[in-house]
Amino acid sequence: MIIETIDYNKGMVVIIDQTLLPNNEKFLNLRTLNEVAEAIRSLRVRGAPAIGIAASYGMLLHLDTMLRTESVDNPEYIFDREVGIKPFSFPDISIDEIRNCLWEAKKRLEVTRPTAINLFYALERMLSVFDTEEEDPRRLCELVAREAFSIHAEELETEIKIGENGARYIKDGMNILTHCNAGGLATAGYGTALAVLYTAKKEGKEFLVYADETRPLFQGARLTAWELEKNGIDVSVLCDNAAASLFAAGKVDLVIVGADRIASNGDVANKIGTLGLAILCKAYSKPLYVAAPLSTFDINIADGNDIPIEQRSGGEISYFGKRRIVPENVNIYNPGFDVTPAEYISSIITEKGVIENPGRGKIASFIRD
């Protein structure tokens, strides 16, 4: 089942508000660039690939708003994922004004979340339309819309291939541990780590999944459990600090996670807590698989030390719901991500194939060839 995580519908970015799941399946119609930026920042839309799609739609929305405001027709909307571009009187707008509009959107969006490279990948792709040397403003705007819709569509195709490439690692009767949410909610709708499980399930394999709750924002408990259950996959949620005891009980055959950024040597940034699982995999001789699109690789970064790690608000830890659980005046350490060194990773599963025992040389030739 493809989850409707995000869409561009009649001049609005439509998302399922992930902060309300699993109790409330509420869709939000975002009508301004600031609303999209806020939705990314506050994790209403989250997960590396979904953040990238949201950012490209944020740019498109900003352009949609400018064109609507300037057009004499005063149309209700201009762009739509189904329809494409609605006929309207194109306003007297120059290429420079279009470029400034998109730059303004990029500046606003690039400061929302620092770790997932997919955000920056999508913003750059949207600006790449200016490399085409198109001189007609209307056609340039059409290219911008086409780029945003392609980012979304390609992402979904990529996820289906990741599922196909990874499903062979899942065997009947296995116990599988995952962390955070690398499913349809984190992506264009099918997932990365969870895509592997969905495809294995389609192939008729039966297995059990353990989902770490993933403190402090509970993406595992709230989101992974929600979508696995919807897809008929047997899932149990555990506290993050119960993972070691699950390994000790012999109940983990493999760990599979997604990624927010992969350095050129194969070091992987993913949700805080992934490194602990990697160390457990080593201690108990179990494989750790990372499933991610090629757009998650940052070949400009030598290793994990250079990956910017998001530091989130202390309030996410000092409060449990509305109740304060940490004394006043106590400092909080709340990094959103950690970095797992490449040597802890058995394989990285991508849309192009699998990189076993990833390292600098292998990754470079894999991406190049």
Question: Mind telling me the catalytic residues?
Answer: 260
With 0-12 CB in 10 A as exposed, 13-18 as middle and 19+ as buried, what is 175? middle
Q: Is the dihedral of CA 91, 28, 10, 125 positive or negative?
A: positive
Smaller CB separation from ligand MRU, 165 or 219: 219
Residue type at 325 in one-letter notation = I
Q: Determine the 3-state secondary structure of 369 from DSSP.
A: coil
Q: Cα separation of 58 and 131, whole Å?
A: 20
CB of 28 to ligand MRU, least distance (A): 17
Q: How many CB atoms lie within 10 A of CB 246?
A: 18
Q: Cα separation of 59 and 36, whole Å?
A: 9
**Tokens for 325?**
């659980």
CB of 242 to ligand MRU, least distance (A): 19
CB of 223 to ligand MRU, least distance (A): 8
Q: Cα separation of 355 and 320, whole Å?
A: 40
Smaller CB separation from ligand MRU, 116 or 228: 116
N-terminal to C-terminal alpha carbon distance within the chain = 32
Smaller CB separation from ligand MRU, 53 or 101: 53
Q: Cα separation of 160 and 246, whole Å?
A: 30
Total count of residues recorded for the chain? 369
Q: Cα separation of 60 and 126, whole Å?
A: 9
Smaller CB separation from ligand MRU, 144 or 268: 268
CB of 305 to ligand MRU, least distance (A): 19
60 near 79, Cβ under 8 Å? yes
Which residues make up the interface to ligand MRU (CB under 6 A)?
Answer: 43, 46-49, 116, 180, 182, 186-187, 192, 219, 257-260, 270-271, 336
Smaller CB separation from ligand MRU, 125 or 271: 271
**Tokens for 268?**
């992987």
CB of 274 to ligand MRU, least distance (A): 8
